[in-house]
Each structure stands twice: as C-alpha cells, then as structure tokens.
C-alpha cells in the first residue's frame, strides 16, 4: 500500500492546480497530450505479453542455473530501473551474498571500472543481457563489443550465443541487426514505451527476475497502483504528488530532494532523478531532481538543507514496516550513555530521526512531502514505481512540457561523434576543436 502526505502545501494551492491535473490525467488516459505516442506505459501492467513474460522467466532460470555473473549492459532507462529494484529488494550487498552476481556496464566510459568487471568475470561463468531501445547508443554498444569478445573467447561463438540476451526494438537499430544475424535470444521493448518508463518491460524484468525477484508480484503491485491512479480526483496519490511539486515550484522551490532512509534505495533515487529530470527539464522549465540518503547525508548535506539557499523542498520515501528487527542492548555501566535507547530497534530510532528532520527542515524553510509504502517487497515496490511514473506524466503536463521526449540529450552526442571523427561529422569536428579552450 502507498500513502502520500502533502500537508506542506495549502488547500488553496492544491485546489488551484486541480483543473490542470484533470487535463493532464485525461491526456494520459486518452493518449491526447504531447508525446502521446510514448504513453504505452500507462496501461502496461495490464497489457504485458504473457508469452514474452514466460520467455523472460525461462531465460532468468537459465541464467540462474548456468551463470555466476549476469552482466547487464545498458545506460539511462536501459539500466537504472533494474538496478533500482534489485538493490532495493536484494540489498546493496547482494553480490557479496548471492548468485548470480548482477553487474552493470555500458553506463560509463571508465577504463578502471571495465577492468574491475573483467577481473570479476575471470574464472566465473557469465551471461550478458544487452539492453538498448535505439540499439545505437555509444556507451552500451562499446561495452557490448568489448564483453561479447570476452564471452566468445571463453565459450566460442556458438557457446556465447546461448549466453547473450538482447533487449531492443522489435525491428530497428544496430543491436537488432546483430542479434538477428548472430541468433541471440531477443526481447522486445514496446514502441510506445520510452527508456525511463520501461522498467516493467523486458528491460527491467529480465535482470530483475535473474536476481531472483518475483516479477509477478512486481507487476501485480504496478497493476494495483495503475487502477488507483486511473481514478480522477483529490484522492489520487499521483495527482497529489504532481500538484504538490508544482505548488512548490510556484513558491520558488526549484530543486526537489528525494530523501531515502535506506542505502538500498540509493538507486531508486537515481531512477527517480532520470525519470523526472529527463521528463521535465526542457524549454527552460522544470524542477531540478536531486537525492540524499539519510541519515548519512544529514551529516553532509543537512547543513545546506537546513540553512542554505531557500530553493529546496524534500520528498521523503519511507517504508512503514521494518524489514528486520535489530535492537540496541542494555549495558550495566552505560559508559557510552546510550541506555536511553536500550530495547529500541534501529527502525524506532530511524523513525524519530525522520520525524525530527521533518520538523527541523520545515522550520528552516525546506518543506517536506512524504510518500510511504507498507513493505519493502516486490508488490509495494511495483506500486511505487508506477506511482512515480504516473505522477511524472501528470506533473510534466501541468508544467506544460512534453514529458516523453529528451531532445537535449542529443547535443553532447553530436559533439562527441564529431570529436571522435565519426564518418559524416568531419567538418563539425574541426570547428569544435577550434572552439575548445587550451587544455580542454
């Protein structure tokens, strides 16, 4: 179950955004807004292809039986959702405790990171899930070329073939071409679902299932939330969140900080940052999405949040049921002065840290919204993912942008291609080089 607390905004602010929320909702439900070609995710939890789901489960079972490592190659929406769910439900220490390890590549160009992965693959059976909707993104394409060679050296071309899973467009792109030519098993990213909304497609589901997570429960939770979000009105939690965010922006709060209290949720926050950043940050508009992990960041960013520039609001994401019961013991001499906590669980202490922070930051001029789920399990997490997606669609439409495109991502790509002498970009390459300051 999910609840949202928007006490930090006034009833007047809330009501002033209701007509815009209704329009946004209608556009999402009827596919009539900007970018509506990419709103397939709205009904995705009830339209998942059963055969594809069965193939995902079979591939995940094979990976679990023949691989000590699954290497997931993708960037942006083609990896953040899977990593968010795996870390949230299996823990950030999952790879130290369980098999198969799930490692991520293709999301950076760091040679030392690649070397570390190569070292971890040494002597370990592995498979690759390469994920790219366009099939042409440079970072994952480069990673796939590097690690596919390693796989082929280890198992031969034929052996490697049965260890490569390609998740891509049904027809377009270089990755689809390679997969067809080589006979890799492929999974389809629906045409009408953009990268950052694709966690509940094979993009997220295959790695998540390979990590041993119940994807039926994840989809069920998303389907529950889809039904809740389908109902228009003040009780719709996604409307409440979308309205509250825009009300905060109206007050000059241009930065949202997603606050989590569990290191396992750090990548959930990374996923949220991409979802909202890429959806809303355009046409010189948007709320800058950022994130902190408390209580750790109360000792680094807490000072700024309490007393720095007053352009911030927070959205805390909490789980209402402790995942484990760890308690502080009583000590006879109480040398550390902590006996006042004896018998209390870490959850009790964390909750008071949250409540104290809620009040302190509010008093300091950083108001808080609060989203709670009942349990840290697949069903509630599925609901949370859908809640954020639907909220993002509503919020982006209220803001007046197309929440489903990302034209700004192209600028760096064009420059990089030109500077790397990609055929067709030669002229621009020379011009760009001339513009760069000495030493850059």
87 is catalytic: no
Backbone φ and ψ of 130, nearest 5°: -95, 130
How many residues belong to the chain? 440
Nearest-approach distance from CB 304 to ligand PA5, in angstroms = 28
Nearest-approach distance from CB 175 to ligand PA5, in angstroms = 8
278 is catalytic: yes
User: How far is 231 from 226, CA to CA, in rounded Å?
Assistant: 9
Nearest-approach distance from CB 79 to ligand PA5, in angstroms = 8
Nearest-approach distance from CB 189 to ligand PA5, in angstroms = 7
Rank residues 33 and 367 by Cβ distance to ligand PA5 and give the closer one.
33
User: How far is 54 from 270, CA to CA, in rounded Å?
Assistant: 29
Nearest-approach distance from CB 270 to ligand PA5, in angstroms = 12
User: How far is 302 from 427, CA to CA, in rounded Å?
Assistant: 48
* Strand 126-132, strand 288-293: pairing: unpaired
Neighbouring residues of 320: CB distance < 8 A, sequence distance ≥ 6: 372, 373, 374, 375
Which residue lies nearest ligand PA5, judged by its C-beta? 195
Rank residues 86 and 244 by Cβ distance to ligand PA5 and give the closer one.
86
Rank residues 196 and 240 by Cβ distance to ligand PA5 and give the closer one.
196
Whose tokens are 């995942």? That residue is 323
What residue ranges bind ligand PA5 (CB under 6 A)?
Answer: 75-78, 132-134, 137, 140, 194-196, 278, 406
Catalytic residue among 139, 185, 270, 278: 278
Helix (H) or strand (E) holding 111, with range, is helix 111-121
Whose tokens are 């000072």? That residue is 303
Nearest-approach distance from CB 134 to ligand PA5, in angstroms = 3
Catalytic residue among 50, 97, 299, 427: 299
Rank residues 75 and 213 by Cβ distance to ligand PA5 and give the closer one.
75
Cβ atoms of 4 and 237 closer than 8 Å: yes
Catalytic residue among 157, 413, 414, 426: 413
Rank residues 133 and 282 by Cβ distance to ligand PA5 and give the closer one.
133
User: How far is 259 from 240, CA to CA, in rounded Å?
Assistant: 18
* CA-based nearest residue to 221, from 102, 388, 363: 388
Backbone φ and ψ of 37, nearest 5°: -65, -15
Nearest-approach distance from CB 275 to ligand PA5, in angstroms = 8
Rank residues 33 and 76 by Cβ distance to ligand PA5 and give the closer one.
76
Rank residues 44 and 319 by Cβ distance to ligand PA5 and give the closer one.
44
Cβ atoms of 372 and 319 closer than 8 Å: yes
Helix (H) or strand (E) holding 90, with range, is helix 80-90
User: How far is 402 from 236, CA to CA, in rounded Å?
Assistant: 22
Cβ atoms of 369 and 314 closer than 8 Å: yes
413 is catalytic: yes
* Helical segments of 364-440, H only: 378-399, 410-419, 426-435
Cβ atoms of 364 and 341 closer than 8 Å: no
* CA-based nearest residue to 74, from 142, 16, 132, 12: 132
Question: Which residues have a catalytic role annotated?
Answer: 278, 299, 413
């Amino acid at each position: 179950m999910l609840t949202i607390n928007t006490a930090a905004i006034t009833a007047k602010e809330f009501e002033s955004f209701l007509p815009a929320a209704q329009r946004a909702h209608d556009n999402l439900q009827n596919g009539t807004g900007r970018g509506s070609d990419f709103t397939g995710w709205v009904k995705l939890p009830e339209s998942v292809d059963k055969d594809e789901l069965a193939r995902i489960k079979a591939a995940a079972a094979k990976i679990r039986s023949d691989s000590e490592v699954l290497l997931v190659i993708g960037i942006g929406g083609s990896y953040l959702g899977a990593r968010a769910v795996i870390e949230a439900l299996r823990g950030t220490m999952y790879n130290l405790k369980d098999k198969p390890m799930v490692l991520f590549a293709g999301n950076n160009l760091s040679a030392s990171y690649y070397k570390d992965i190569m070292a971890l693959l040494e002597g370990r059976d592995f498979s690759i899930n390469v994920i790219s909707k366009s099939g042409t993104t440079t970072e994952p394409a480069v990673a796939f070329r590097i690690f596919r060679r390693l796989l082929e050296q280890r198992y031969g071309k034929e052996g490697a073939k049965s260890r490569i899973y390609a998740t891509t467009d049904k027809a377009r792109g270089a990755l689809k071409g390679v997969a067809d030519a080589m006979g890799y098993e492929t999974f389809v990213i629906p045409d009408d679902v953009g990268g950052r909304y694709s966690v509940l497609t094979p993009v997220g589901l295959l790695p998540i299932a390979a990590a041993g997570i119940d994807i039926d429960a994840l989809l069920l939770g998303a389907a529950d939330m889809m039904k809740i979000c389908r109902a228009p009105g003040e009780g719709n939690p996604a409307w409440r969140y979308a309205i509250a965010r825009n009300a905060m922006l109206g007050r000059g709060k241009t930065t949202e900080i997603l606050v989590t209290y569990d290191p396992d949720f750090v990548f959930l926050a990374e996923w949220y940052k991409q979802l909202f950043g890429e959806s809303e940050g355009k046409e010189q508009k948007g709320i800058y999405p950022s994130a902190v992990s408390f209580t750790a960041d109360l000792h680094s960013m807490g000072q700024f949040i309490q007393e720095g520039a007053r352009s911030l609001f927070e959205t805390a994401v909490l789980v209402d049921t402790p995942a484990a019961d760890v308690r502080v013991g009583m000590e006879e001499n109480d040398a550390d002065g902590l006996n006042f906590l004896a018998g209390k669980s870490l959850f009790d202490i964390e909750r008071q840290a949250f409540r104290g922070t809620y009040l302190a930051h509010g008093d300091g001029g950083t108001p808080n919204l609060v989203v709670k789920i009942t349990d840290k399990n697949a069903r509630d997490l599925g609901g949370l993912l859908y809640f954020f997606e639907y909220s993002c669609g509503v919020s982006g439409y209220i803001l007046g942008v197309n929440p489903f495109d990302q034209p700004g991502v192209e600028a760096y790509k064009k420059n990089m291609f030109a500077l790397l002498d990609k055929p067709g970009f030669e002229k621009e390459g020379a011009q760009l080089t001339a513009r760069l300051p000495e030493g850059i």
